[in-house]
Structure 1
């Protein structure tokens, strides 16, 4: 053995090698004695409670599948067929009929009224005369009035404004501006600059700044420090007296108990599934041995021989007799139809007479006739063609 074999494995290595498969599957790190104590009783109680629920659930699932297979699927297919083959064509036909009636009653009359009454009347009774009046009367009249106003009114007024009013207005405007500044601007500027600003600055702003800097700022810092200290103390007190016990209770009592209950419910649900399947297989075996097997024996040993006897002794002879009877009836009907047909033919001959047989008509004796007016086609080979004469000309 080598030195490597003689070395004792470390605890970490031993845990990695053996701890994974030695620990239980549902083991949670940090489980205390409370989880180990309540695990088995909780699982027993949960199994006893869950087994009836799981069996009822499995029965409901089987009933639901049976109802879906036997009732809902055929009903859905039937409803789909009815909707596709009946309701949809009827709805489309009714929609098309309603659309046609609606167009015939409410669309085409208004379209025809608009197209053939309103548009021609408005176009030729209003628009065309108005356009003609505008182009032929109002436009030349407006041009003439504009020319008169421009040359008789605008030009003289413009000359008077430029040559007389503009120089006079500049002087008057300058005098009015100087007077307005002297009366309404400079006194208020002097009042603001030399009275209001010094009074507000040294009577209000400087004392307020000193009070804020020397009194309010230190007072606010002290209040803030005191408030922070009180808040930190309150937080520490609440954390120590309320949060820590609640966290401990959740971590070491509620979480293990809840985890064990959830694990117990899962295990119980699986166990209840196995129990439910076992009960179902037992009920299936019992139903098969009490109902299915006797029914199959009765079908094979009683119904099948009786059915074969009825088929061979009664049904096949009756079917063969019916076939022979049908063949005889069809032959009799065919003979009767042929007899009636022959009697009808004889009665017709007795009343009308025998139809005349067709006879061959001999052609005129002489030269061979030329068919088609040429020498290519003749009735008699080697004979000279006779000229064509129509029947009326022959007599």
Structure 2
């Protein structure tokens, strides 16, 4: 660390650093290390807790809230837009086209267009000649009554008066400029002597040395805080690893040992001695029950077939279709009878 005493002779201070810098650096770094270590440890603990809280609670909760928000807000509005508003909008567009656009187009084509053509003809054939004559007369009257008198008034009255006023204004501006220049020069030298030179002396001989000292102090404080923060990070990492190993040996390893050495053998014994025989017995009972149900269904089906054959006789065979015979009764002359001793079981 930076606070350990070096083994060899003390190294020379870097260029540009004097005894003041070295005297400030060591106590500032000690104080910064003492103050920053608890803050860094608490910060790392908060970061670990925040990551665990984010992974275990906030992220699943956010996903659930996002799904609920979609189900409550997004999907109803999407369904409303897709299945209600869009068909309604298309219907309104079609209705507006039928009720407004087509009548307006027909009115424009068959009413306004002929009126516009008539108005254009009236403007070109009637109003334009009348307007041209009226404009020529108005221009001639305006020239005689306004332009010619205005030109005479400007040339013989306003121009001489304007020249005299401009000459007087130029002289007045020159006089005011000379007065302002003299006053400004006096104020400049007065302000320079009374304000600028004392402020320059204070800046050069007071503020600059104090600022250099404060800059050195601020730089050393910043370097000390950086070193202290890094050292505190290493210490916090070591404390975190120690706490993790302690938690592992105190809680995880005993639970793992109990699971591997106790619960797993007990589970195997329970599985082999109890669950597997019970499962085999249950499967055997199920197979027996299925076989009994199948035999009962076959018996019921055979009894129903015998009853139907007794009441209604054998069904007539369709032409071209092979006749189905009962598999337990022989066909033809070998059929069992009450007076015959030859049956299907004793037949050679």
Fold shared per TM-score above 0.5: yes
**Alignment match of 1:254 (pick from 189, 198, 214):** 214
Structure 1 residues 23 and 71: CA distance shift in structure 2, 3 A: farther
Secondary structure of the structure 2 residue equivalent to 1:30:
coil
Preserved contact between residue 31 and residue 256 of structure 1 (Cα < 8 Å): no
Aligned equivalent of 1:110: 96
Aligned equivalent of 1:41: 27
Q: Which has the higher contact order (CA 8 A, sep 6+)?
A: 2
Aligned equivalent of 1:327: 287
Shift of 1:216: 8.1
**Alignment match of 1:57 (pick from 30, 39, 43):** 43
- Post-superposition CA distance 1:322-358 (Å, at most 9, x none): 1111111111111111111111211221122113456
Structure 1 residues 230 and 311: CA distance shift in structure 2, 3 A: same
Aligned equivalent of 1:312: 272
Aligned equivalent of 1:72: 58
Within a 5 Å distance, the mapping from 1:85-96 to structure 2 comes to 89-96=75-82
Preserved contact between residue 47 and residue 265 of structure 1 (Cα < 8 Å): yes
Structure 1 residues 332 and 58: CA distance shift in structure 2, 3 A: same
Aligned equivalent of 1:127: 111
Shift of 1:271: 0.9
Matched, 1:274 2:262: no
Partner Cα separation in structure 2 for residue 333 and residue 244 of structure 1: 114
Partner Cα separation in structure 2 for residue 288 and residue 63 of structure 1: 17
Question: TM-score when scaled to structure 1?
Answer: 0.59
Shift of 1:75: 3.6
**Alignment match of 2:260 (pick from 300, 321, 330):** 300
Structure 1 residues 42 and 321: CA distance shift in structure 2, 3 A: same
Matched, 1:236 2:197: yes
Larger radius of gyration: 1
Aligned equivalent of 2:296: 336
Question: TM-score when scaled to structure 2?
Answer: 0.66
Structure 1 residues 38 and 359: CA distance shift in structure 2, 3 A: closer
What are structure 1's unaligned runs of at least 5 residues?
A: 1-21, 361-395
Secondary structure of the structure 2 residue equivalent to 1:301:
helix
Aligned equivalent of 1:353: 313
Shift of 1:250: 0.9
Shift of 1:230: 3.0
Preserved contact between residue 46 and residue 264 of structure 1 (Cα < 8 Å): yes
Preserved contact between residue 42 and residue 264 of structure 1 (Cα < 8 Å): yes
RMSD of aligned Cα (Å): 4.8
- Post-superposition CA distance 1:74-102 (Å, at most 9, x none): 34444555667886554322212231463
What are structure 2's unaligned runs of at least 5 residues?
A: 1-9, 321-348
Partner Cα separation in structure 2 for residue 88 and residue 333 of structure 1: 53
Shift of 1:106: 4.3
Structure 1 residues 73 and 120: CA distance shift in structure 2, 3 A: closer
- Post-superposition CA distance 1:57-76 (Å, at most 9, x none): 10111111112222233344
- Post-superposition CA distance 1:82-126 (Å, at most 9, x none): 66788655432221223146337744443332367x4598479x7
Shift of 1:265: 0.5
Partner Cα separation in structure 1 for residue 158 and residue 24 of structure 2: 92
Secondary structure of the structure 1 residue equivalent to 2:17:
coil
Partner Cα separation in structure 1 for residue 315 and residue 309 of structure 2: 8
Preserved contact between residue 50 and residue 268 of structure 1 (Cα < 8 Å): yes
Shift of 1:49: 0.9
Count of residues in Structure 1 that have an aligned counterpart in Structure 2: 293
